Structure 1
Amino acid sequence: MIKLKYFDKVRAAQKSQRPLSEMPPFDIERLRTNGLASRIVGFFFNDPRWALALLRRFKPNLGFGNFLLVTRNADVRDILERGDEFETPYGPEMAELARGSNFILGMQDGAAYRQMKSSVLSAFPPAEVEAKVRPIAARHSRDIMMAASPGFDAIAGLLKILPVHICRDYFGLEIDDESEFADWAIALSALFFSDPTAKPVTRELAVVGGDRLIKVIDRSIDAIREKGQKDQPLARLVALLDQGRLSRPDIHSIMLGMIAGFVPTNVLAGGNCLDVILSRPDARQAIDAALAENDTAKLDRAIMEAMRFKPIWVGPWRYASRDATIARGTRRERLVKAGTVVMPATLSAMFDPDAVQNPNDFDTTRPHRDYLVFGHGIHLCIGAEIARIQIGESLRALFGKEKLRRASGRAGRLSNIGAYPESLKVDFEQPAFCHTVDQSM
């Protein structure tokens, strides 16, 4: 029986961890898995909707060992709203890598959570995102695609790189190598969100990657003080540090959380969304229509609907802090024992016909309630506005290419490293002035 890591394996790994100086050099290739088991898992998670549909009908709450998968929309929402009983389990590892301070995604509701969230929102106010982030995302996306040629890797060349540009130009970080920075962030995300069994390699990569990111954050703090910058999120956090309202580990925690929650998540969300659009004619038609009308709201709705079909995960992890009953008063009522690891399957919930009308149709006019793409409850994604704009501008520039399509063969299929998209190559028609023409003298 597979035993999940929360929390005995986490504590054991932390206790036995080697010093940073004794760990292997950072190499994201160590996340790659090529065995038969990983291929089977990859095949299932590429589109598990059929299996989730069967579970919703015949076994809506599937338990084995200390794990429970919950598939009905009402129950998924209920669990995500009951944070005092179903806690996020990410805190011990988040606090460890930030060297003592937890991030809001690893915290439960209370005074400390609310104080930390207030600091995050004061540094990253959602109201400024449209005016500040969209121009950055649009400019870099256009520049990248202007230089692109047929056979372009939309993941490695655009969707992985653009979030890092935003970390530099909006967050206020001093970043030398975009791809390397993204790999460090992916390593953190892998430990927090896609390492349920505590693989030593995943932990080593996250520890080394986290150390590299903290060095970037500290170097950026020094640059802010030297240059006197004030109007970027990190500069606002430094002001709170200087006022004694935050500690340096608090800044490490906030910035690591925002980086790991933004860069890898958007690579995953953007890559999966692109895969859906290139696979479904109805999704492609919606994107093309929005672009033809230059209608950003329509583009956002088409992207959100595409993301519903292939979100970043089947569902988030939760941990039952005490005995709790779900689906009370129904035939599926169940007592969840303390210590159970629960996955409220948000993917399944978005296709539950009891809550979502015609769930298998691609429909860009759905009500906002139908979407759990950015989560639900107090841990609704705090960077959702940044993500929406970044992915939207990426795809606007990408599908601005004439007759954009998958490259032929394996190159045009989405490939992953660990849980994260690595490559998907596309072809398109070059403008006439880009073609080489023989000249007669």
Structure 2
Amino acid sequence: MAVMDFLAAYDAIPEDDAPQRVALLRRSMVAGRAALFAELRAHRPVFSTPVGVFVTRHPDVLEVLSAPETFTVGVFGPTLEDVLGAPFVLARDGADVHWRERGYGQLMLAPEDAPRVRELTARIADTVLDEAIGGGADTFDLVQDYARLAAARVALAYLGLTGIEEERLHSCTRRMQWAFAVNPDRDPEIHAAGVDAGRELHDLVAELVDRRRSGGPAAGPDDVLGRMLRTRLPAEYDFDDERVTANLVGYLTSYQQNATQCTVTALKELAVRPEALVEAERAAAEGPARCDAYVWEALRFHPFVPITPRLCLRDRVVAAGTPRQTVIPAKSVVLACFASAMFDEEVLDAPAEFRPGRPPAHNLVLGYGAHECLGRYAARVIVPELVRRVLLRPGVRPLPGAERALDYAGTPFPQHYAVRSGRVAVPTA
């Protein structure tokens, strides 16, 4: 659509014809999300629709996400807890669960783990790549044969849940995340499948927790589960092994599909920019520091969470004192658009250009505010290292002419992405 095409078409639909307006909005999101967001930022940056109020400017998105007492996770929180079968930090705001368990999670998923998690990721990724390449075919599926397996093995080893099959983890988390995060029409079958998957994953994790506990607090390797079992909290927190299990299930559910998707979409965004791909390959050979910047810039163009919803509890003025100042009424669903904020021309310099090394505040891929990714310290090394290990294999690249051919196979998540299986020795860097 050209400038103003969407808004002109939207406004031409009678205000009381919500289904047509929603249908046009959804078609535009699929056909040209970047153009739609650019139009909204320029002409209607706080945009009220039947499905919610779209907030598209960078400072306004940060304002919404900085006020959890007003803009809560009540849109998806209850559904997430249905799926998990227990309270979880991502599904709550306030002191009762959120801040207490966020503090706990930060101790368990500690920042100082990052170096060893990167080493673990590199080792596992190389093994999985060898397995994929060793199949003997000219191509392999980057999603099914590499990203989902490597992501799962890293998480299970780091968390201390080795013994759960990668396929079961991936299948469960796909159904769970589909139910709570990408089921806008609240399809009851999708919801039920997510709840069933949540029970399945809970039981698998609970069995491993019981097994480790029976060996004593110090039993087993030094992983996140071991750390949890050795930690003693005051009795009033009521943090028993069921809470340990619930948190581990929540961590897996928040991680597996996202890490898999990010690995594949980052490579895709590099592949469609040949110059950036060559530069990223050079950076990968030099080491992680420079390469990471290329991966996060690639993900700015394809974030795994383009929009995050919030429930407005009370009337609130957004962007006060600016020409776009807007009152958001209580009980509104507010859609904070990460994918738009990261291209705000008033904040980012030349946002359409691929520029590694932008200021961290300009990259919202891991979220912002009270619900910024709890596992961000691990994620910041796992995701770029999974991509880097592919970049270190010069023969493993998307098929020429098919760099954009990411197949979702009727799901909300990438399912297939064909790459060449070049047989090249692995650098030792």
TM-score (norm 1): 0.83
**Gaps spanning 5+ residues in structure 1: where?**
4-36, 433-441
Where 1:404 maps in the other structure, the secondary structure is coil
Partner of 1:273: 266
Partner of 2:80: 94
8 Å CA contact retained: 2:206, 2:242? no
Match of 1:199 among 182, 187, 201: 187
Q: In 2, Cα distance between the equivalents of 1:431 and 1:81? A: 47
Q: 1:77 Cα deviation (Å)?
A: 0.9
Match of 1:136 among 120, 129, 139: 120
Match of 2:65 among 64, 76, 80: 80
Query: What letter matches 2:182 in structure 1?
Result: S
- Residues 1:334 and 2:318 aligned together: no
Query: What letter matches 1:265 in structure 2?
Result: N
Where 2:366 maps in the other structure, the secondary structure is coil
Question: What are the superposed Cα offsets for residues 330-372 of structure 1, whole Å, 9 maximum, x if unpaired?
Answer: 2221111111111111111111110011111111131112111
8 Å CA contact retained: 2:205, 2:245? yes
Does the C-alpha gap of structure 1 residues 98 and 412 become closer, same or farther in structure 2, counting only changes over 3 Å?
A: closer
8 Å CA contact retained: 2:202, 2:246? no
Q: 1:86 Cα deviation (Å)?
A: 0.5
- Residues 1:60 and 2:52 aligned together: no
Q: 1:407 Cα deviation (Å)?
A: 2.7
Partner of 2:104: 119
Map 1:214-233 → 2, pairs under 5 A? 214-227=202-215, 228-229=219-220, 231-233=222-224
Query: What letter matches 2:118 in structure 1?
Result: R
TM-score (norm 2): 0.85
Q: 1:403 Cα deviation (Å)?
A: 3.6
- Residues 1:234 and 2:225 aligned together: yes
Does the C-alpha gap of structure 1 residues 378 and 189 become closer, same or farther in structure 2, counting only changes over 3 Å?
A: same
Partner of 2:13: none
8 Å CA contact retained: 2:269, 2:302? yes
Partner of 1:6: none
Where 1:429 maps in the other structure, the secondary structure is coil
Question: What are the superposed Cα offsets for residues 248-273 of structure 1, whole Å, 9 maximum, x if unpaired?
Answer: 44223311220111111112222221
- Residues 1:318 and 2:310 aligned together: yes
Partner of 2:405: 413
**Gaps spanning 5+ residues in structure 2: where?**
1-17
Query: What letter matches 2:416 in structure 1?
Result: S
Does the C-alpha gap of structure 1 residues 111 and 155 become closer, same or farther in structure 2, counting only changes over 3 Å?
A: same
Q: 1:167 Cα deviation (Å)?
A: 2.6
Q: In 2, Cα distance between the equivalents of 1:358 and 1:242? A: 49
Where 1:317 maps in the other structure, the secondary structure is strand
Does the C-alpha gap of structure 1 residues 46 and 368 become closer, same or farther in structure 2, counting only changes over 3 Å?
A: farther
Q: 1:385 Cα deviation (Å)?
A: 2.2
Does the C-alpha gap of structure 1 residues 420 and 66 become closer, same or farther in structure 2, counting only changes over 3 Å?
A: closer
Q: 1:42 Cα deviation (Å)?
A: 8.3
Q: In 2, Cα distance between the equivalents of 1:283 and 1:318? A: 35
Where 2:53 maps in the other structure, the secondary structure is strand
Map 1:395-410 → 2, pairs under 5 A? 395-407=387-399
Where 1:120 maps in the other structure, the secondary structure is helix
Q: 1:66 Cα deviation (Å)?
A: 5.0
Q: In 1, Cα distance between the equivalents of 2:62 and 2:159? A: 32
Aligned pair count? 395
Question: What are the superposed Cα offsets for residues 201-243 of structure 1, whole Å, 9 maximum, x if unpaired?
Answer: 2112111110110111111112212442362212333344797
Partner of 2:257: 264
Q: In 1, Cα distance between the equivalents of 2:46 and 2:129? A: 45
Where 2:396 maps in the other structure, the secondary structure is strand
